[in-house]
Amino acid sequence: MSTVTAVKSCAATTCAFNNGGCAAFAVTITGKADCSTFITLDARGGLPTASGQVGACQCLECVHNKDLMCTIDAIDVADGAACASYEVR
């Protein structure tokens, strides 16, 4: 795998890393297909632009997971911080 997976959109607007999109440098998707980087705080964090990417994916039963990395071009994160691009094998 020569590229990382982008976070195309993030609807979890209560996340401290959501600044018009995912501003975390990298997110981790859990084994339940949720974004574990999601956190609610009274502050905003992350990069100055929304250019998040998937650093690791622990969801082994997802068709896009290979060697704990996401192989799809980009993912969408839903309002509850779930990976909306998750597909069971």
Query: Taking a C-beta distance cutoff of 8 angstroms, is the pair 2, 71 a contact?
Result: no
Band the pLDDT of 25: cuts 50, 70, 90: very high
Residue 22 to residue 1: CA distance in whole angstroms:
22
Q: Which whole number is the average pLDDT over 45-58?
A: 96
Laid out side by side, the sheet with 74-77 consists of 27-29, 53-57, 5-10, 74-77
Band the pLDDT of 1: cuts 50, 70, 90: low
Provide the token pair at 61: 């039963």
pTM above 0.85? Answer: yes
Query: Taking a C-beta distance cutoff of 8 angstroms, is the pair 58, 29 a contact?
Result: yes
